[in-house]
């Protein structure tokens, strides 16, 4: 078995694979104050809940965009799995040609998603990852990471609206039945959800125009992908496990 861990700004997603089969996966909050033993306790509890033996884990692969979490997480992996973690970063084989001005600036999660998308769908492909920030990654038919776009995430937009206004309430992120809302909450939900759909579709159209390729597939991932994709005219596929699959593939390319 291998364990794959995607450390994001809001959540940490953990998966356990047996070869290409995903046996279990979990999502926890990305708490920067969590200790190594707290991570260890979580691993023990979750493995026991799925009748999985931690002793059978041969590798742990981690992609992180949150450096403050890594000291405790790496220590937990060494202590509880007795394994040195494989960290996605410089020196790791991905098979991706990064066309960024400074390749080291590209988030590990975006590279991992690119690896998985090319494996599953081929290129050209646009990956839209709905996380704390929403990222758009453009990948050519040659498997090149061309660059993309970074936008404020949906939840960040909702929190900002609540925090920066005196009378507007904090709302649940659900899609209203109509664009024209007849109460304040419905007005806010309409603005956030449909406004974000419009933003996504416009950006994707502009990226397609600049890529100048045919048959570009658009894949959405991340916790809120389904909410936006249900209204989007540009998103073709939803793959909530894209990052976990990418970590598994990267392990296969580097395990020797």
Is residue 213 pLDDT above 90, yes or no? yes
Q: What is the pLDDT of residue 119?
A: 95
Taking residues 185-213, report their average pLDDT: 93
Catalytic-labelled residue, pool 31, 37, 53, 109 = 109
Using pLDDT thresholds of 50, 70 and 90, give the confidence band for residue 205: very high
| Residue-averaged pLDDT of the chain | 92
Taking residues 200-223, report their average pLDDT: 96
Nearest residue to 80 via CA among 103, 48, 104, 123: 48
**3.30.420.40, 1.20.120.530, 2.60.40.740, 3.90.960.10: CATH of 2-87:** 3.30.420.40
* Cβ–Cβ < 8 Å for 98, 111: yes
87, HSE (Cβ side, Cα atoms, 13 Å)? 16
Taking residues 19-28, report their average pLDDT: 94
Q: What is the pLDDT of residue 151?
A: 93
134-189 confidence digits (pLDDT tens):
999 999 999 999 999 999 988 888 888 777 776 677 777 788 889 998 888 888 88
Q: What is the pLDDT of residue 235?
A: 97
* Cβ–Cβ < 8 Å for 61, 250: yes
Taking residues 221-229, report their average pLDDT: 89
State how far the Cα of 29 lies from the Cα of 42, in Å rounded to an integer.
12
Residue for token pair 């493995």 = 47
Query: Is residue 109 annotated as part of the catalytic site, yes or no?
Result: yes
Full-model pTM: 0.89
Spans of all domains in the chain: 2-87, 97-240
Taking residues 56-77, report their average pLDDT: 95
Using pLDDT thresholds of 50, 70 and 90, give the confidence band for residue 256: low
Query: Is the fold of 2-87 the same as that of 97-240?
Result: yes
Q: What fold does the segment set 97-240 form as a domain?
A: Nucleotidyltransferase; domain 5 (3.30.420)
Using pLDDT thresholds of 50, 70 and 90, give the confidence band for residue 126: very high
State how far the Cα of 225 lies from the Cα of 235, in Å rounded to an integer.
10
Taking residues 106-115, report their average pLDDT: 94
State how far the Cα of 124 lies from the Cα of 228, in Å rounded to an integer.
22
Residues 6+ apart with CB under 8 A from 188: 158, 161, 168, 169, 171, 181
State percent of the chain over pLDDT 70.
99
Say which residue, 90 or 44, is predicted with more confidence: 44
Taking residues 17-34, report their average pLDDT: 93
């Amino acid at each position: 078995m291998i364990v794959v861990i995607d450390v994001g700004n809001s959540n940490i997603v953990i998966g356990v694979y047996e070869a290409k089969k995903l046996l279990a996966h979990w999502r926890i909050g990305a708490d920067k104050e969590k200790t190594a033993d707290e991570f260890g306790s979580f691993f023990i509890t979750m493995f026991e809940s799925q009748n999985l033996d931690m002793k059978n884990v041969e590798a742990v692969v981690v992609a992180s965009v949150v450096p403050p979490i890594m000291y405790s997480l790496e220590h937990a992996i060494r202590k509880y799995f007795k394994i040195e973690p494989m960290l996605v970063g410089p020196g790791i084989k991905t098979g991706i040609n990064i066309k960024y001005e400074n390749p080291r600036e590209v988030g590990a999660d975006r590279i991992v998603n690119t690896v998985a998308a090319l494996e599953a769908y081929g290129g050209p492909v646009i990956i839209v990852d709905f996380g704390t920030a929403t990222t758009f990654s453009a990948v050519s038919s040659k498997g090149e990471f061309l660059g993309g776009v970074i936008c404020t995430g949906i939840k960040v937009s909702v929190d900002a609206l609540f925090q920066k206004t005196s009378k507007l309430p904090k709302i649940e992120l659900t899609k209203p039945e109509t664009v024209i809302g007849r109460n304040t909450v419905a007005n806010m939900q309409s603005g956030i959800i449909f406004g974000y759909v419009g933003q996504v579709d416009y950006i994707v159209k502009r990226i397609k125009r600049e890529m100048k390729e045919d048959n570009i597939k658009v894949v959405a991932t991340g916790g809120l992908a389904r909410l936006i994709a249900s209204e989007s005219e540009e998103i073709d596929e939803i793959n909530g496990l894209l990052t976990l699959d990418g970590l598994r593939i990267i392990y296969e390319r580097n395990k020797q």
